[in-house]
Amino acid sequence: MIPLWLIPLFPLVGTIVLAIIALSSSDSKQGPAESITGAVAVLFPILSFLSVVTLSVGMPVEGIRGTIGTWIDTAAIQVNIGFLFDGLSRVMLLFITGIGSLIAIYSVGYMHKDRSFARFFAYINLFLFSMTILVLGDSLLLTFLGWEGVGLCSYLLIGFWHTDLKNTKAGNKAFIVNRVGDVGFLLGMLCLVSIGGSALLSYDALNAWLLNALSLGSISNAMPLLSLAGLLFFFGCTGKSAQIPLLTWLPDAMAGPTPVSALIHAATMVTSGVYLLARLSNLFVLIPAVLNIVLFVGLLTAFWAAIAGLFQNDIKKVLAYSTISQLGYMFMAAGVAAFDVSIFHVFTHAFFKAALFLGAGAVIHSLTGEQDMRRMGGLLKKMPLTSLVMIFGFLAIIGFPGFAGFWSKDLILERLYVSGPMGPYVYAIALLTAVITAVYMGRLIIMTFFGKYRGSKENEAHIHEAPASMLIPMLLLSVGSAFAGFLWAGLIPGAEFFREMLAPVVGAAQSYAMLGHTAAHLSPWIFAALGTLAAIIGMLIAWYLFMRPVPEAKGGSEPQGFGASWTFAFDKLHEYVGIIPTKVVAWLLDVVVNTIIMKAQWLTGGIIEILGDGIRAFQVRKVRLQAALSFIGMALITILVLIYGGLL
Amino acid sequence: MELQASYIQIVALALFTIGLAVTLTRRNVFFVLMGIELALNAVNLSLIGFAKTLPAAASVAGQILPLFTIAVAAAEACVGLAMIILIFKSQESVDIDNYSNMKG
Amino acid sequence: MLALIYFIILGVIAVGSALCVLLSRHPLYGALSLVVSMVSLAGIYGLLGSPFVGVVQIMVYAGAIMMLLTFVIMVLNGARDSKTPMFDKVSLFVFPAILLLAALLGFALISTPLAFNAETLRGSVALTSETLFNTNNKGPGYFLLFEVIGLLLLSAMIAAVLLAKKNLGSKETEEITEVH
């Protein structure tokens, strides 16, 4: 049995090695040798992936736990550095390190001839380290460490091409909006600590405590604080997973290199909010009110982002809004206590969204940086393999029967329907969202690969299929997006591998949430048929609406008119709720500090200066005389002491 | 008539006063240094005198502390003399009133 | 009775030679008077039952420190400006101040009851060493102070060397070496 800490150790070593390479080559004009750097960059994620696979094979049902030492040891807080490898973290780690390795291979081709080649891979390895820590940590505090680490890497990678002010601003925005959510996470941890001390930060201890309190009936005393904690944790998740209200950073985050968008802003980091919900499932099922909020927010986000996706012209922005929308689906599933299904959607989504992003990256790469879909078109014949990958991803995301997204989305819809009295309405909106998903994704595929080429002549000359290092990961991911769903194919009896894998972690919570519900007896085939119908209707609408000549592109790729006001609604909200009040307070403080306090300082200083000038006239020049005078002072003090000491 | 504890303190006080007077009144820098040594000696005497008035366990401190005082005095004399040499080089004088750079 | 007689003799010598320090014109005379004062103080220490401190007093103070002082006085020709008045106008302020302080302290001393304690230990070598080098966890911990004193002496030595040296590395020194 290999130790658990090897999994995060490999990317950490990779980070250090690559950082040394990047620093040592910072003065040379050429940059480091790409072959060696690329080999190092790919090797360590793969090693990490292999150790995850090795551990997964022999994992006992209850998971593996390993503590490597004490982290914080004070009177108030004791936390160990411990790792927890169970069904949930196994799934997450498998696709984090697996897709991470594939994207690292892809990036070797994508970042070819970039001056900061080594720096890029140092960040990627640091990201994988933080992400594995996030998922492996056995306490909330360690998860928070990884949580902050991935936020940092996200910031670094969004602003990777930092000579462009736009990218830097996008990075800042992502970082700051994430910080707002992180406050929720921190306060949630404080709530737990105030309930039962720092021991509750450990997941095992928290679950045991909840179980104990539930059986003793003493849970109702802690209920207000627990609800607050759950709400705050959910607020933290909305920041990291780009849900309403903290979702505006994700579309802007597309300023980073495309492999980063695929890895961090589609497949792994943004799903850590869903991971946290599933990890704390035992807490959340006790507070159904908060779960309802989760459901509502997920529903709203999924619907809003799907419509916003309709108006985007930038190919990566469409994918960004579809990511937000799919994350909304995951939150919806978590909101009806179907944590295993939401993790399953995380899993399939990681494959098809990574495939879509990498395909988009290949398109952008061959068009030398063009991202506006209005200047694409007709690429099907010129890049057949890339088109194939994209179309596979497309079929998966809209839920075409047999593809990965079909199985997971179908399960989510089914669980939504049977969740309670509100179920059918929620189901209807989610199904409508699925139709819209098919429309905007169909628009993306049609504008990119069908019709006639509309871009510039010089770009057309060298449109080419991507190099092998980019194609192979894309093809592997497209295979994943075709077949990953069969791990839990609801329609096929016995194909429930995924559910069984997660059952030890979230099963108890889900059966608790289902107490008192009478499961509606509807055939799963009806849901499957309705889902398929939604996908096909959406495709037909897209075919009807967009299979026509596209007006010539003018100006930037930003949406105009209604599309713009819909897209930037939450940016405006942030401005009025957060930014403008802060600016007013800052202005007020500026006035107070600069005028009032500064004037007071000047006044005080002036008075002291005048006094000092006056007193200087009395100064004695001889040191001996000064000493003598001080002895007289001492004598006076002695007299005082003698008087009050009772001797005089 | 026997030896009283306060006699020792009075001698120590006399020595201390003389040391202080030497330090403050004499202008020759060597006298200043010697006055300081004299005052330190007076303090040592005072410590030992007080040690005699304490019970067994507590009195030990009074026997040990003078040793430290002597060591500190040695260090002080060492640095002080080095400073005198240094200042003497630039001022060519042993009159401390000539040393005074603290004019306001 | 005998102790008192010895004490009076030694105390008179100590205070008298201290007064000689105050009143002597040449620093060399002052230093030699100071040595006398210290030796008699060592005698008082012995009389009071602290022979070890007395011996250290003679060796370190009267021996080493005063010898060093005398040496420097002779090197620098300390009597160079002995024409300056021994006491000046400042003394008119200083003496009353000191005497006032001394009078007050003396008054406080006299009005405080003080008596010898019969149990007091003799400050012998054995006692001193046992106390000073008691490294027991619950002991007085003087050994630590002892180490610190060692460090202090070392740093004082280094400081003295650095101060008294010709200022190395400065421009003047370089010019001098070039000339030579």
pLDDT digits (tens, 9 = 90+) for C38-71: 999 999 999 988 889 999 999 998 888 999 899 8
C53 vs B59: CB contact, 8 Å cut-off? no
> Cβ neighbours of residue A441 under 8 Å, at least 6 residues apart?
A318, A322, A394, A397, A398, A542
Distance of CA A290 to the CA centre of its chain: 21
Nearest CA in chain B to A626: B24
B 12-51 → C contacts, CB under 8 A:
13-22, 24-28, 30-31, 33-35, 37-38, 41, 44-45, 48-49, 51
Choose among B10, B22, B53: nearest Cβ to C22. B22
pLDDT at A524: 82
* Coarse DSSP helix, strand, coil percentages of chain A, rounded to the nearest 5 percent: 75, 5, 20
A 596-635 → C contacts, CB under 8 A:
622, 624-625, 627-629, 631-632, 634-635
Phi, psi (degrees; rounded to nearest 5) at A231 = -65, -40
Which residues of chain B make contact with C90, given a CB cutoff of 8 A? 24-25
- Min distance B103 CA to chain A CA atoms (Å): 6
Phi, psi (degrees; rounded to nearest 5) at A67 = -110, 130
Integer Cα distance of B21 and C98 in angstroms: 7
**How many domains are there within chain A?**
3
A639 vs C108: CB contact, 8 Å cut-off? no
B25 vs C78: CB contact, 8 Å cut-off? no
Integer Cα distance of A136 and A10 in angstroms: 14
Total Cβ atoms within 10 A of residue A158: 29
- 3-class DSSP string for A16-60: HHHHHHHHHCCCCCCCCCHHHHHHHHHHHHHHHHHHHHHHHHCCC
Which residues of chain C make contact with B81, given a CB cutoff of 8 A? 68-69, 72, 160
**Could you tell me if A116 and A253 lie in one domain?**
yes
Domain of B85, in residue numbers: 5-95
**Could you tell me if A466 and A582 lie in one domain?**
no
Asked if residue A30 belongs to a domain, the reply is yes
Instruction: Look at residues A264, A284, A304 and tell me which one is the last residue of a structural domain.
Output: A284
Q: Which residue has the higher pLDDT, C170 or A227?
A: A227
Reported as a pLDDT band with limits 50, 70 and 90, residue C172 is low
Asked if residue B103 belongs to a domain, the reply is no
Residue A115 in 3-state DSSP?
coil
Asked if residue A567 belongs to a domain, the reply is no
pTM for the predicted model, two decimal places: 0.68
Q: Comparing C-alpha atoms, which of B27, B40, B31, B104 is closest to residue B67?
A: B40
pLDDT at A185: 94
ipTM score over 0.85, yes or no: yes
A623 vs B102: CB contact, 8 Å cut-off? yes
**Could you tell me if A345 and A259 lie in one domain?**
no
pLDDT at C83: 66
> Cβ neighbours of residue C173 under 8 Å, at least 6 residues apart?
C166, C167
- Min distance B77 CA to chain C CA atoms (Å): 7
Domain containing residue B77: CATH number:
1.10.287.3510
- Which partners does chain A have (≥3 C-beta pairs < 8 Å)? B, C
**Could you tell me if A518 and A623 lie in one domain?**
no
For chain C, domain boundaries: 1-78, 133-180
By the CB < 8 Å criterion, does A622 face chain B? yes
Which residues of chain A make contact with C104, given a CB cutoff of 8 A? 635, 638-639, 642
Domain of A617, in residue numbers: 577-644
Q: A197: left (phi > 0), else alpha (psi -120 to 50), else beta?
A: left
Look-up of token digits 């060492």: B78
Asked if residue A259 belongs to a domain, the reply is yes
**Are A8 and A53 spatial neighbours (Cβ–Cβ below 8 Å)?**
no
In DSSP terms, A79 is beta-bridged to A72
**Could you tell me if A417 and A435 lie in one domain?**
yes
**Could you tell me if A264 and A167 lie in one domain?**
yes
B64 vs C153: CB contact, 8 Å cut-off? no
Asked if residue A561 belongs to a domain, the reply is no
Instruction: Look at residues A236, A251, A284 and tell me which one is the last residue of a structural domain.
Output: A284
By the CB < 8 Å criterion, does B100 face chain A? yes
pLDDT at B95: 78
Asked if residue B100 belongs to a domain, the reply is no
A635 vs C111: CB contact, 8 Å cut-off? no
**Could you tell me if A232 and A332 lie in one domain?**
no
Which residues of chain A make contact with B23, given a CB cutoff of 8 A? 627
**Are B72 and A584 spatial neighbours (Cβ–Cβ below 8 Å)?**
no
Asked if residue A514 belongs to a domain, the reply is yes
pLDDT digits (tens, 9 = 90+) for C82-105: 566 777 777 888 888 889 889 888
Total Cβ atoms within 10 A of residue C173: 13
> Cβ neighbours of residue C18 under 8 Å, at least 6 residues apart?
B14, B15, B18, B19, B38, C33, C34, C37
Burial group, residue A554, by CB count within 10 angstroms (0-12, 13-18, 19+): exposed
Burial group, residue A172, by CB count within 10 angstroms (0-12, 13-18, 19+): middle
Which residues of chain A make contact with B104, given a CB cutoff of 8 A? 616, 619, 621
State yes or no: pLDDT of C72 exceeds 70.
Answer: yes
**Are A4 and A63 spatial neighbours (Cβ–Cβ below 8 Å)?**
no
Residues of chain A scoring pLDDT < 50: none
Asked if residue A571 belongs to a domain, the reply is no
Which residues of chain B make contact with A616, given a CB cutoff of 8 A? 104
Choose among C22, C53, C98: nearest Cβ to B67. C53
- Min distance A184 CA to chain B CA atoms (Å): 59
**Could you tell me if A272 and A298 lie in one domain?**
no
Segment B83-97 shows an average pLDDT of 79
By the CB < 8 Å criterion, does C108 face chain B? no
Q: Give the dihedral of Cα atoms A103, A106, A111, A116; nearest 10 deg.
A: 40
Asked if residue B49 belongs to a domain, the reply is yes
Strands (E), A299-451: none
**How many domains are there within chain B?**
1
Total Cβ atoms within 10 A of residue B23: 21
A629 vs C93: CB contact, 8 Å cut-off? yes
In DSSP terms, A496 is beta-bridged to A488
By the CB < 8 Å criterion, does C100 face chain A? yes
Which residues of chain A make contact with C107, given a CB cutoff of 8 A? 642, 647
Integer Cα distance of A283 and A145 in angstroms: 21
Instruction: Look at residues A259, A284, A309 and tell me which one is the last residue of a structural domain.
Output: A284
Q: What DSSP string runs through A278-324?
A: HHTHHHHTT-HHHHHHHHHHHHHHHHHHHHHHHT--BHHHHHHHHHH
**Could you tell me if A590 and A541 lie in one domain?**
no
**Could you tell me if A299 and A390 lie in one domain?**
yes
- Min distance A198 CA to chain B CA atoms (Å): 47
By the CB < 8 Å criterion, does C94 face chain A? yes
pLDDT at B104: 42
By the CB < 8 Å criterion, does A647 face chain C? yes
Q: Does domain C1-78 have CATH number 1.20.120.1200?
A: yes
Integer Cα distance of A165 and A154 in angstroms: 17
Choose among A628, A629, A642: nearest Cβ to C104. A642
Choose among A622, A627, A635: nearest Cβ to C104. A635
B56 vs C163: CB contact, 8 Å cut-off? no
The continuous run of DSSP H or E covering A79 comes out as strand A78-85
